[in-house]
């Protein structure tokens, strides 16, 4: 458009519509605008959430089933008695170790627990070996050695924790 046309447009102001729209005009306009927009597809989440829940539940049941199968190894009475004895000693020592935990010894105990998990995995592998191939002296000996190693490891960690706690107490006594 040239400047002459613009000037002409503004000179003829008497042709312009200065009336206010009727009450509710904006609402009617927005309603018409919404009708023109394409509708979005609604996703029905209910079947998907049910399927996800069932899948999760099935996974948990399957995990527990396979996990429980590896724990149900049939030992001979002598091996079972030895296993029970060492397990109770290990559990008692672990409880004692957890009672000794202080802020100063927390890192040491955390590292010790990671090492215990590794030894426990080795022990589980030995149990699986017995489940597959049956008991033999070498595997039983390896299991006993694993449990003895865990007990001596926990005892050495307990000694280190006690040393840390005693050192802390001595330091506090010197400052008092």
Q: What's the CA gap between 127 and 71, in Å, rounded?
A: 8
Record the pTM. 0.54
- Which tokens sit at 63? 């995990």
Residues sharing a CB contact under 8 Å with residue 135, sequence separation 6 or more, in sequence order: 75, 76, 79
Query: Worst-scoring range by mean pLDDT, 24-38, 59-73, 112-126?
Result: 59-73
CB count within 10 Å of CB 119 equals 16
pLDDT over threshold 70, residue 151: yes
* Helical spans, DSSP H, in the chain: 3-11, 25-36, 45-71, 77-99, 106-133, 137-175
Q: How far apart are CA 14 and CA 20, in angstroms?
A: 16
Q: Which of 10, 166, 52 is nearest to 100 (CA)?
A: 166
- Please check the confidence at residue 130 and state whether its pLDDT lies above 80: yes
**How many angstroms separate the CA atoms of 161 and 110, rounded?**
12
pLDDT band at 118 (very low <50, low <70, confident <90, very high): very high
Residue pair 98/109 in contact (Cβ under 8 Å)? The answer is yes
Residue range 154-162: average pLDDT?
90
Pairwise CA distance, residues 116 & 101, whole Å? 16
pLDDT in tens, 33-56: 887 766 666 777 777 778 888 888
- Indicate if the pLDDT at residue 70 is higher than 50: no
Tell me how far apart the alpha carbons of residues 146 and 126 are, in angstroms, rounded to a whole number.
10
Structure tokens belonging to residue 123:
């022990």
Residue 79 has pLDDT above 50, yes or no: yes
């Amino acid at each position: 458009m040239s400047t002459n046309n613009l000037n002409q447009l503004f000179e003829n102001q008497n042709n312009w519509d200065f009336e206010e729209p009727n009450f509710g005009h904006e609402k009617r306009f927005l309603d018409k605008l919404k009708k023109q927009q394409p509708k979005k597809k609604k996703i029905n989440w209910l079947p998907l959430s049910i399927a996800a829940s069932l899948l999760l539940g099935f996974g948990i049941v399957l995990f527990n089933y396979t996990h429980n199968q590896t724990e149900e190894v049939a030992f001979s009475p002598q091996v079972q008695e030895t296993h029970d004895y060492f397990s109770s000693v290990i559990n008692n020592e672990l409880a004692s170790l957890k009672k000794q935990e202080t802020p100063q010894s927390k890192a040491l105990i955390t590292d010790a627990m990671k090492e215990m998990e590794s030894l426990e995995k080795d022990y589980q592998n030995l149990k699986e070996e017995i489940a597959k191939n049956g008991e033999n002296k070498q595997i039983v000996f390896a299991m006993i050695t694993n449990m003895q190693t865990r007990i001596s490891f926990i005892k050495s960690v307990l000694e280190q924790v006690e040393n840390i706690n005693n050192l802390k107490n001595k330091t506090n006594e010197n400052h008092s």
